[in-house]
Structure 1
Amino acid sequence: MTLRLKGALLAMFVVLLTVVTGCDNSKEVNQAIQAGEAYKTVEYTVSYHEDIFSEESILERNKLMKPYLTDEYYSKAELNRYTTLPFNIVQKQQLSLTPENLAFEPLNQPTENTYDLHYTLDFVLLDQDENEVKRVPSKGLLTMMKVNGKWLVQADEPDWKVSAELSQ
């Protein structure tokens, strides 16, 4: 084989490897986004009821959130009551909550096991007849981690200011 032919084959191999790696990264990104979207949908879909902070309600909420979180983040979220933060909004507003217009923007190339996603969404507050009463845009940052082949939330930095305003 000539040196020119070897060079051309090497270049084609590099391009092919780049394309294949890009496809794998794209697949990983899409899986991380889908997992993030599922988490945010569950996190911010809360129906208002009088005893929202009952022990039973909190235990059920934690059970609902656990499959979306790494063990480490779940322990932190449970301890610091992050899992029930949307309850504060629902209780204060005396309205149900649902997320709409979820959008994710990748912030970096995924490493082998982690990926950062910037997200935006609208908090939609609904009355008892499911009519929209209020809509508030929000944003945040999710750190996703791949654990046993599944993307889970390792960290979540929501827009604390928006959450606080809706909870006061």
Structure 2
Amino acid sequence: MRKILLLLFSILIFALSACQESDEAEVKKEVSETEVKDFIMEYKMITHNVPVPEEAYEVNVLEKVKPYLNDDWYERNEKDKRVMFPRTYVSVSGLGMTLNDVTIDRLEDNPDGEGYAVAYTLNLTIGKEVVEKKGDMKIIEDEPNGFVITYDWEKEIIRNGVRFK
């Protein structure tokens, strides 16, 4: 009788630990494309909405996006000014830019570790032309915006003879 109880107890512990692992996996999968899209849209509106060249340098973009970036990515942006690329493009090209939408092309667990890897497409109006700009981002869950960016890269495009990194 004692052996049977021990066996049943062992099975119960095994089943509960399997359920717990399953619950943890479900919690991670609860991050939806909509949440990620909303976060990226909010962030990219700050960086990519530059309606006229005169407004290209009116704001300190790096300080505005600081809550969206982890410390390492913020420091990298301080050095290479990549959050200013859209404003530099507007200034050089003379064309205003508006972010219309973001499409999440792929959302998966980050193969490098924690968080998520996101492939996205920005739908922009540059001047009067609607263009798409592909990008890749790595994000982790964090406050105050739900996520923070640990990496962000956009494919270079050329419009009106000007490179837009």
Q: TM-score, normalised by structure 2?
A: 0.72
Identity of aligned residues (%): 16
Summarize the Cα distance change of 1:154–1:2 in structure 2 as closer, same or farther, 3 Å threshold: closer
Matched AA of 1:142: M
Corresponding position of 1:71: 71
- Partner secondary structure for residue 54 of structure 2: coil
Corresponding position of 2:155: 159
- Partner secondary structure for residue 116 of structure 1: strand
Q: Is the 8 A contact 2:41 2:102 kept in 1?
A: no
Corresponding position of 1:98: 99
Moved over 4 A (4+): 28-32, 109-113, 146-150
Per the TM alignment, residue 82 of structure 1 is displaced from its structure 2 partner at its CA by 0.6
Q: TM-score, normalised by structure 1?
A: 0.71
Summarize the Cα distance change of 1:15–1:93 in structure 2 as closer, same or farther, 3 Å threshold: farther
Partners of 1:121 and 1:96 in 2: CA distance? 12
Matched AA of 1:134: E
Gaps of 5+ in 2: none
Corresponding position of 1:47: 51
Summarize the Cα distance change of 1:148–1:42 in structure 2 as closer, same or farther, 3 Å threshold: closer
Does 1:21 pair with 2:24?
yes
Per the TM alignment, residue 61 of structure 1 is displaced from its structure 2 partner at its CA by 1.8
Q: Is the 8 A contact 2:53 2:94 kept in 1?
A: no
Larger Rg over CA atoms: 2
Matched AA of 1:39: Y
Per the TM alignment, residue 124 of structure 1 is displaced from its structure 2 partner at its CA by 2.0
Partners of 1:95 and 1:143 in 2: CA distance? 28
Q: Is the 8 A contact 2:48 2:87 kept in 1?
A: no
Does 1:143 pair with 2:135?
no
Summarize the Cα distance change of 1:2–1:71 in structure 2 as closer, same or farther, 3 Å threshold: closer
Bigger RCO (CA 8 Å, 6+ sep): 1
